[in-house]
Structure 1
């Protein structure tokens, strides 16, 4: 099976080996716009990719063992069909002939070093996830889903305080109808845009005090909450103990605002998380915080933490921010962890602290207590006001640990 990456340059833009892969194939499948670029080849069967997408995979499977060519856009293994095919067919039966990706073409037009640019795709993806990538001075290349994507992205930038950002719309790159136009997010896109387009964004923030830091311990005002949220300093310590390594799954039990789960997901784009919260109004806050921070893929479960555990994907780390004193909560979380898994729990009540002391006695780990003071007006001067101390238990499960 050959996979050939086509740009808008069409047949003329293909190399000799890629052309041979097409002309030698008995069966060719691809998008209709890809098929339209090909010359007529006698006896060759061609099909446009069907919907649903899985039917196309099945058609390829029916031709397995014969000469098949799959047409793709640009580089098939960069936000393309290549990854989907690789989940079904082993690499030894595939030969890929990549073309220039939309990211490469856009960087070449703008003179941007591709290694210093953040690349994202909106194809069949939630546009809100782009929020997590925004940062002052950052350059982004975005593969659009359709002709509506430029306006969607411009609105998103404005909502996040990046209305001054320069946005370049690159349409039909590499083809005879290529068009490159510039605007700002605040101005929006004034002309109809081709369905095949990419965006180049130079992030510029209107209010330098608004962007949220890219490290754990983000301020409380960055989240929607009803007061059930840990202090930024506490959250920074909790995240250090949870130690996200990338590609791991977190349980945030008794999530409150979901701030810990959000910070976990922002730590690495490959991370996953499940937030469990019993109160409906707080569940709504968790979802709102996930959306506004660009981590809408956070799984939110409304219900009791202990009851929910049995149906959740096994975690690599667990944070218990509420309900640590509940019967069986710590034990259930600990049992679910694999070797190397981390469990962190906090408490501000004496009952919760007793539960953490008992957990340390049974399971080991470390106990710390954080006490913080902050200044507040005291007449014409300032004085110190003490917050409630918070106890944090953290432990890593060893391969010899009991269940």
Structure 2
């Protein structure tokens, strides 16, 4: 089917009157109208056409729309449907050749026009239906953030996160109902934010200002070791930076972190780009809790954590772009499962510190080739009144790329 039967129209606070002629034509031609309560209330009370109100779970409404494929359906959506909107979800299920999309200005564009900010120089994210901990990886000195709010309580949640991170003086601006007659702008700072009389439809702008002495966390691989809760099973900072540069994550790629420990590799993989995905596999119950805590604290709450012993816990996982093995390298059958799971061009990286581990890696090398690197790191530590070099355990790293 190539006929365009579905239209998605972005609508602002100015309602039906603010729609373009093309958008109005599509709306008038539709036999079924879909939207939230706020959108459907913009229609005339005399409009007798079939209405579909968004339900929870949201996916059930998407299924209902697809069941009526071929009928003339119009969806009313806030702002730009392709900016964290319903258009993104629908184009994953329905070919764009069957859809017409007419966007209105997004909340981000409207906010920039109110604040005088350049949209290309700000960080944008949505907390609608998403964990607030996502914000953690966006906070750094001088950052300008635009946040789609989940509701009237979100500004206080944002203020609390900023304060706990040592960004007390950060400036917060809440922009309500932009583009309508009830538009309002509220201003304050994170440490003293107490505003509760806020409309549910709001967008939050933040200028991040760090307290004196706060050490920001870079998105570049190699966070300080003390950024993670761990029991010693941690890929140390220098080795972690080398390992991440070897894994070389690209936006949208998926990593399997096998024997994840405290999750440092998979978390830093995800921090490299908001679209990077990772699965952490770990059997130790204490370390599983460390992974969850670290993922939330460092802004990667979508890290998928799978408990259990490898390789048994690896069944039916999505195809990875890269695999890192930091623990359990000698487990029988692990290499075959990992190597077979990779697609062409997929990368397998393994770190070991024992002779038995090295022997296993050499056996892999004899099967598929690859290359070895030995990583030796020394840190200066006190020896009495002086400083001396103390070597960390040497790490042997093997890298194989599947052709």
TM-score range with shorter-chain normalisation?
over 0.9
- Match of residue 29 from structure 1: 34
What's 2:353 paired with?
348
Which residue in the other structure is 1:268 paired with? 273
Query: 5 Å matches for 1:138-287?
Result: 138-287=143-292
* Alpha-carbon distance in 2 for matches of 1:286, 1:97: 42
Question: The residue matched to 1:322 in structure 2 has which SS?
Answer: coil
Q: How far, CA to CA, are the matches of 1:357 and 1:63 in structure 2?
A: 58
Contact in 1 for aligned 2:152/2:196 (Cα 8 Å) = no
Check the 8 A contact 1:150/1:189 in 2, yes or no: no
How has the CA–CA distance of structure 1 residues 276 and 39 changed in structure 2, closer, same or farther, with 3 Å as cutoff? same
1:210-252 CA distance string (max 9 Å, x none): 2112211111011001111122111111111111122111111
Given that residues 171 and 208 in structure 2 are in contact (C-alpha distance below 8 angstroms), is that contact kept between their aligned partners in structure 1? yes
3-state SS of 1:100 partner = coil
Superposition pairs of residues 309-388 of structure 1, within 5 angstroms: 309-388=314-393
Counterpart-to-counterpart distance in 1, 2:260 and 2:200 = 40
Secondary structure of the structure 1 residue equivalent to 2:278? strand
Give, in angstroms, the shift of residue 189 of structure 1.
Answer: 3.3
Contact 1:34 1:71 in 2 (8 A): yes
- Tell me what 1:401 maps to: none
Separation in 2 of the partners of 1:95 and 1:329? 48
Deviation at 1:332, TM superposition (A): 2.4
**Deviation, structure 1 residue 143:** 0.6
Change (3 A) 1:208 1:339: farther
Tell me the distance in 2 between the aligned counterparts of 1:215 and 1:374. Answer: 21
State the alpha-carbon separation in 2 of the partners of residues 11 and 358 from structure 1.
68
Q: What is the SS of the residue equivalent to 1:241?
A: helix
Q: Which of 292, 298, 302 is residue 297 of structure 2 equivalent to?
A: 292
Whether contact under 8 Å (2:376, 2:391) holds in the other structure is yes
SS across alignment from 1:65: coil
Instruction: Report the TM-score, using the length of structure 1 for normalisation.
Output: 0.94
Distance 1:198 1:42, change over 3 A: closer
**In 2, distance between residues paired with 1:123 and 1:204?**
24
Q: How far off its partner does 1:280 sit?
A: 0.6
Alignment of 1:81 with 2:86, yes or no, is yes
State the SS of the aligned residue for 2:367.
helix
Contact 1:23-1:41 at 8 Å conserved across structures = no
Measured in 1, the distance between the counterparts of 2:381 and 2:58 equals 60
Measured after TM superposition, the shift of residue 178 of structure 1 is 0.8
SS of residue paired to 1:186: helix
Residue 266 (structure 1) shift: 0.9
Please, which runs of 5 or more residues in structure 2 have no aligned partner?
1-5
Q: Is the 8 A contact 2:123 2:144 kept in 1?
A: yes
Counterparts in 2 of 1:94 and 1:388: CA distance versus 1, 3 Å: closer
Encode CA deviations 1:272-312: one digit per residue, 9 max, x unaligned: 11111121111111111111111111111121111112232
Query: For the structure 1 residues 16 and 279, does the alpha-carbon distance in structure 2 shift closer, same or farther, using more than 3 Å as the test?
Result: same
Instruction: Deviation per CA, 1:144-192: give whole Å up to 9, x if none.
Output: 1111111111111122222221110111111111110111111123231
| Matched residue, 2:126 | 121
Q: 1:312 to 1:45 in 2, by over 3 A?
A: closer
Which of the numbers 109, 127, 131 marks the counterpart of 2:114?
109
CA-to-aligned-CA distance 1:358-380 (integer Å, 9 cap, x gap) = 22222211111111222222233
Q: CA deviation at 1:141?
A: 0.5
Q: Which 4+ runs in 1 deviate beyond 6 A?
A: none
Alpha-carbon distance, 1:333 to partner? 1.6
* Residue 16 (structure 2) aligns with: 11
Distance change >3 Å, CA 378–CA 311, structure 1 → 2: same
Match of 1:95 in 2: 100
Structure 1 residues not aligned, in runs of 5+? 399-403
CA RMSD between the two structures:
1.8
After superposition, what is the alpha-carbon deviation per residue over 1:65-116, rounded to whole angstroms, capped at 9, x for unaligned?
3432211101111111112222333222222221111111111110111111
In the superposition, the TM-score normalised over structure 2's length comes to 0.94
- Which residue matches 2:141? 136
